Structures are given as structure tokens and as C-alpha cells.
């Protein structure tokens, strides 16, 4: 099992402390889910990026470890996937091209194909060969969720996952969570209950700290 271990961890952004002194261990195992909550600007997205190693702590340490070794930062990408509004898709690629490029770097579950993603997203089949620049923001968000949740990685990090989604997109999200919740670990950064409703542990960022609200 993989654990993310934060020791006296803090992050300063533009000379303001978002949080300090965090001591936390997050086990990455199937059927575990964590919500990182807080108002806009509290540092939820920064926290998720810090977990992945894309942003470094200002103080303290954050490590990933397996039972017998430390997982180096350059190795972490094999163990997590990320869906975020800030994540850009390559506009010139078709969904077919992007699926095959993505899967060459981060494999999907065995039964996942580009046609399955198109079906799950309820896209017309003719869209398969259209560049992503012609997709709406909601369509792109559906693709991001599928790429993250359907991946082989044990951890899926979802930053504001319902951004730009209509009713059908929200239904897709709920369907994916229902199917994969028991198979992998989720970390959801959100301030909307309909995004983190399934999470069994919750933490709030506020007043320069990360506080458990599970009781």
C-alpha cells in the first residue's frame, strides 16, 4: 500500500500562509476517499498540486512511500491521475489521437477504449475525428473525468470535478464514481457537496490550517 505522509508541512503563497504545521498520513487504497474543502482562494487546488509534487511545500516535508521504499517525485505520475479545470487538453488533437497518446504514457483499465469513452460521455460517434478545439468546455470536462477515473493509477485526484458540467455531465460523474469507488482511491478538492458526497473523510482548509471534520 502507498501512503502520502505530510510532516509539519506548510505552504506560503504570495507572502501569505495558506496552511502550516500539517501532520497527516493519507493511505492510498481502494474504497478510500478524501475531500479537501474550503472557500475559494483557501488553497485547495494548491494542496492537490503539492500532493503530486507539481508544487513544493514551503516548509516541512511531503513524501510518498510504499511498504519498503520512498517513491521519488518523478515516479509519482505512475500512481495518480488528475482532473482539473486548469488542466488543458491539446486543442489540435482529436479525441482518438489524445486517447492513444495518453494511454501510451498512462495506461487505462483493460476494457477502456476510445469508443467506450465516447459512449460514456454520450458524444455522437462522428465527433471522434474532430479536433478538441471544437468541443465545448463541458465536453472537455467529461473527457478529463474519464481520463482520470478510468486510468490504472490507484489514486484519482479531482479538482472541482463538476465545473462546466450540465445535468448529463453530472450523471456521468455519479456513474463513474459508483463504478470505480471500490476500485481506487479518490481525493476531491471542492466546496460543493454534490462533488464530494461519497467521500468518507473530510478536511477543511481555513485559518492557515487543515482541520478534520469527520466527526
Q: How many domains does the chain have?
A: 1
3-state SS, residue 82: strand
pLDDT value at residue 128: 87
**pLDDT tens for residues 174-210?**
999 999 999 999 999 999 999 999 999 999 987 678 8
pTM: 0.94
List C-alpha distances in Å: 138 to 90, 96, 128, 143, 186: 15, 18, 16, 9, 21
In which residue ranges of the chain is pLDDT below 70?
207, 215
User: What CATH number did the domain enclosing 98 receive?
Assistant: 3.40.50.300
Supply 215's cell numbers: 466527526
List C-alpha distances in Å: 28 to 66, 75, 133: 10, 15, 35
Domain range spanning residue 133?
2-212
Q: How far apart are CA 198 and CA 176, in angstroms?
A: 12
What are the beta bridge partners of residue 17?
Answer: 12
Q: How far apart are CA 182 and CA 50, in angstroms?
A: 25
Q: Do the beta carbons of residue 169 and residue 141 sit within 8 Å?
A: yes
pLDDT value at residue 207: 66
Torsion of CA 80, 207, 16, 26, to 10 degrees: -20
pLDDT value at residue 34: 97
What element of type H or E holds 186? strand 185-190
Amino acid at each position: 500500500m502507498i501512503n502520502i505522509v505530510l510532516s509539519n508541512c506548510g505552504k506560503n503563497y504570495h507572502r501569505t500562509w495558506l496552511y502550516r504545521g500539517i501532520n497527516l498520513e493519507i493511505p492510498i487504497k481502494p474504497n478510500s476517499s478524501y475531500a479537501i474543502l474550503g472557500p475559494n482562494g483557501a488553497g485547495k487546488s494548491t494542496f492537490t498540486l503539492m500532493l503530486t509534487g507539481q508544487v513544493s511545500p514551503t516548509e516541512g516535508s511531503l513524501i510518498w512511500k510504499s511498504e519498503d521504499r520512498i517513491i521519488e517525485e518523478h515516479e509519482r505520475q505512475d500512481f495518480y491521475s488528475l482532473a482539473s479545470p486548469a488542466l488543458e487538453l491539446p486543442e489540435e488533437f482529436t479525441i482518438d489521437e489524445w486517447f492513444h497518446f495518453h494511454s501510451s504514457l498512462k495506461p487505462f483499465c483493460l476494457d477502456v477504449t476510445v469508443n467506450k469513452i465516447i459512449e460514456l460521455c454520450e458524444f455522437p460517434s462522428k465527433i471522434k475525428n474532430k479536433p478538441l478545439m471544437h468541443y465545448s468546455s463541458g465536453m472537455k470536462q467529461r473527457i478529463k473525468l474519464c481520463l482520470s477515473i478510468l486510468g490504472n493509477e490507484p489514486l484519482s485526484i479531482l479538482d472541482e470535478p463538476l465545473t462546466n458540467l450540465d445535468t448529463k455531465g453530472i450523471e456521468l460523474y455519479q456513474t463513474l464514481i459508483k463504478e470505480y469507488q471500490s476500485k481506487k482511491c479518490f481525493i476531491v478538492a471542492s466546496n460543493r457537496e454534490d462533488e464530494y458526497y461519497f467521500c468518507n473523510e473530510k478536511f477543511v482548509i481555513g485559518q492557515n490550517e487543515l482541520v478534520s471534520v469527520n466527526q
